[in-house]
Amino acid sequence: MPARRTIGVDLGGTKLLAGAVDQRLGVHHRAQRTVSGLQQSVLLDVVVDAVTEARESAGAEVAAVGFGIPCLIDRRIGRVEVGVNTPLADLAFGDVMAERLGLPVFVDNDGNTAAMAEHRAGAARGASDAIVLTLGTGIACGLILDGRLYRGARGGAGELGHMVIDLHGPACQGNCPNRGCAEIYASGTALAREARQLAEVHPSSGLAAALNERRELAGPLVTELAHDGDTAAIEAVSLIGARLGIVITNLANIFNPEVVVVGGGVIAAGELMLAPARSVVAERTLPFLHDGLRIVPARFGVEAGMIGAAALAFDGLEGRPPAETRA
Amino acid sequence: MPARRTIGVDLGGTKLLAGAVDQRLGVHHRAQRTVSGLQQSVLLDVVVDAVTEARESAGAEVAAVGFGIPCLIDRRIGRVEVGVNTPLADLAFGDVMAERLGLPVFVDNDGNTAAMAEHRAGAARGASDAIVLTLGTGIACGLILDGRLYRGARGGAGELGHMVIDLHGPACQGNCPNRGCAEIYASGTALAREARQLAEVHPSSGLAAALNERRELAGPLVTELAHDGDTAAIEAVSLIGARLGIVITNLANIFNPEVVVVGGGVIAAGELMLAPARSVVAERTLPFLHDGLRIVPARFGVEAGMIGAAALAFDGLEGRPPAETRA
């Protein structure tokens, strides 16, 4: 009889990834769903369906479900407060899911679950101070400070995507009333936007050809073209990398971390993005704080949030601290 | 026989403030010295002289000396690494002082000592998550996270003054290789610069009159003129306040603190600076993270660093954690 497993669910703005995970964070079954544009009730049905699939194929007893969701969760009252790209605002999401699934449910911000996975068994393993960035539609983040996940007074810490890096920059999106926010410059969305502009500037580029073929110039295609050597695509990736370098410079000066881990779909670009980022960080960070700083890709790549959500569920079953954010 | 006291020393780039402090953080004697432009050996003599004065007038046995210095201190090797506005680089400052003073000596960054004072007995008392800013020549900062002072991997955390808020801004000063740093926009130095420019724009203003009288248009005079109702001085203070609001917006989105405490000489401007700051924070911060956030002046004003240094010495005598940064 194999040891029990948990289901980890990374519920993003466009995709859901569920996996049956063992206590050593090995993944035994994956279920994917597209969730963009769904209304709340349909979304909840899709979530239940994906978890049920993962549970049936888990190959062992499933003891709990953990969720990483792109939401601010009020740790004082355990309720989803702001659904950033997901229609879950003001929902007692954990309670609803626990009832529908008949299993204990634990919920945290997706930036936090990604950080938990990378800190426990990935690229930030053993670090006392680490920052895990996930570049997607926006920028998610988890802060490991003095060896522990830092959540802030209400559980909303780590909204680094809404750090102003350009005083006079353009207005941000959604529920953010700010201007010149980091995620306007260094997210997956920013990469797609820059790629579309560069396609126009370089009409004989691979980017332009893809645009003419009416293919979607989103992160995956741009990074693929960059790896294939298309100079316009490389320029787009490199531009985002350099701006990511400014974001990381701020984080180094503010937090003095040992390691900054970069994940999310965009990190498929690998060194094409990280090398320009490192170069800007070396140029701009206070030397004392740059010395020894590592900037590395996420070990679990796009699965970090899902694997961390499963870890959250194991922690929750054992009554360990992250359970305090149970929604 | 009164209970024993410690000497707290705030060693700034231009001024030194030493005080004999009791365990309840009451100040019994103050000694001030001007230290700008001194060479290391002369500076050390002045420090010894000021501590000796405070010790002789302490009114009780002095058990230890605590220093807050504007330096990055490598917590792993206990050595001053970078003297930001002070010629102490690569000096085992704590050891040298302990030998010359014949007392136990404890050293920390001045932003950290100010935060300790405000957290223990001042404007951040009781807060689990608080950020204490000291606006002077630059911006010093202490981070209280989950109830404890956060220092980062090498002890260099909290260099918020070198957070980029303007991608394309001007070059920073001293040993900072960055551009568009917060302290270019929202420090005491920035206030003096803006005041000089506004004096030229408004030749009939109090600012212009002061400049014509060859008075030094630094923070104290500008805030005095602002309190007297000079509209140009109020404009200067208000401009710095609005930019401080952008800095605090970033901190609110990153840390989700309960309270941001603003100290340093510039806070003499009081609400003339804090009101515009609060207004920008309300406008730009993610609403969930703005809700409940307090932005308040330092209780100990310009004495926070000195009083916190004395508290550091009491902690050190008791073997409590801050002693780990003993230099």
- pLDDT tens-place string over residues A126-174: 999 999 999 988 899 999 999 999 999 988 999 999 999 999 999 998 8
pLDDT band at B327 (very low <50, low <70, confident <90, very high): very low
The per-residue pLDDT for A18 is: 97
Cβ proximity of B286 and A176 under 8 Å: yes
Cβ proximity of B48 and B35 under 8 Å: no
Chain A residues inside the 8 Å CB shell of B167 = 165-166, 169, 180, 185, 243, 246
Going by the DSSP 8-state scheme, the letter that residue B36 receives in this structure is T
Rounded CA gap, B20 and A302, in Å? 56
Please check the confidence at residue A325 and state whether its pLDDT lies above 50: no
Pick from A222-231, B81-90, B133-142, B304-313: least confident? B81-90
Given an 8 Å threshold on Cβ–Cβ distance, is A152 in contact with B81?
A: no
The per-residue pLDDT for A324 is: 36
Cβ proximity of A237 and A225 under 8 Å: no
Please check the confidence at residue B299 and state whether its pLDDT lies above 70: yes
Q: Please check whether the two domains, B5-114+303-325 and B126-298, share a CATH topology.
A: yes
Mean pLDDT of chain A: 91
Chain A residues inside the 8 Å CB shell of B185 = 167
Residue B15, C-beta contacts closer than 8 angstroms, at least 6 positions apart: B32, B33, B34, B35, B36
Q: How far is A11 from chain B (nearest CA, A)?
A: 21
Given an 8 Å threshold on Cβ–Cβ distance, is A176 in contact with B254?
A: no
Q: What is the mean pLDDT of residues A65-91?
A: 77
Span B114-163, pLDDT tens digits? 999 999 999 999 999 999 999 988 899 999 999 999 999 988 999 999 99
Which residue does chain A place closest to B283, by CA atoms?
A177
The CATH code belonging to domain A125-298 is 3.30.420.40
Q: What is the mean pLDDT of residues B84-111?
A: 87
Cβ proximity of B288 and A82 under 8 Å: yes
Pick from A82-96, A182-196, B254-268, B283-297: least confident? A82-96
Residue B302, C-beta contacts closer than 8 angstroms, at least 6 positions apart: B17, B263, B264, B265
Strand-pairing partners, residue A150, are A143
Interface probe with A: pick from B163, B173, B181, B256, most Cβ of A within 10 Å: B256
Let me know if domain B126-298 sits in CATH 3.30.420.40: yes
Going by the DSSP 8-state scheme, the letter that residue A2 receives in this structure is P
Neighbours of A34 (CB within 10 A): 10
Interface probe with A: pick from B250, B260, B285, B291, most Cβ of A within 10 Å: B250
Q: How far is A115 from chain B (nearest CA, A)?
A: 15
Domain residue ranges of chain B, discontinuous segments joined by + = 5-114+303-325, 126-298
The CATH code belonging to domain B5-114+303-325 is 3.30.420.40
Q: What's the angle, vertex CA B279, arms to CA B273 and CA B280, rounded to 5?
A: 95
Rounded CA gap, B223 and A145, in Å? 38
The per-residue pLDDT for B326 is: 32
Report which residue type is found at B137. T
Q: How far is A182 from chain B (nearest CA, A)?
A: 10
Q: Is A128 helix (H, G, I), strand (E, B) or coil?
A: coil
Q: What ipTM was assigned to the predicted interfaces of this complex?
A: 0.92
Q: Which of A289, A87, A149 is nearest to B256 (CA)?
A: A149
Report which residue type is found at B139. I
Report which residue type is found at A31. A
The per-residue pLDDT for A323 is: 34
Given an 8 Å threshold on Cβ–Cβ distance, is A256 in contact with B287?
A: no
Q: How far is B250 from chain A (nearest CA, A)?
A: 5
Q: Say whether pTM exceeds 0.95.
A: no
Report which residue type is found at B165. I
Please check the confidence at residue A70 and state whether its pLDDT lies above 90: no
Q: Which of B191, B116, B106 is nearest to B150 (CA)?
A: B116
Beta strands in chain A (DSSP E): 5-11, 15-21, 27-34, 62-69, 71-74, 79-83, 105-109, 130-135, 139-145, 148-150, 259-263, 294-297
DSSP codes, A39-99:
-HHHHHHHHHHHHHHHHHTSSS-EEEEEEEESEEEETTTTEEEEESSSS-TT--HHHHHHH
Rounded CA gap, A248 and A284, in Å? 10
Which residue does chain A place closest to B139, by CA atoms?
A254
Question: Which of B157, B257, B292 is nearest residue A256 as measured by Cβ atoms?
Answer: B157
Chain A residues inside the 8 Å CB shell of B249 = 164, 178
- Give me the helices (H) in chain B, please: 40-56, 93-101, 110-121, 182-186, 188-201, 206-212, 219-227, 231-255, 271-284, 287-290, 304-317
Please check the confidence at residue A2 and state whether its pLDDT lies above 90: no
Q: What is the mean pLDDT of residues A273-295?
A: 96
Span B187-242, pLDDT tens digits? 999 999 999 999 999 999 999 999 999 998 888 899 999 999 999 999 999 999 99
Q: How far is B171 from chain A (nearest CA, A)?
A: 10
For residue B69, CA distances in Å to B27, B223, B284 come to: 19, 25, 33
Chain A residues inside the 8 Å CB shell of B164 = 165, 246, 249-250, 284
Six-digit token string for A160 = 């680094």
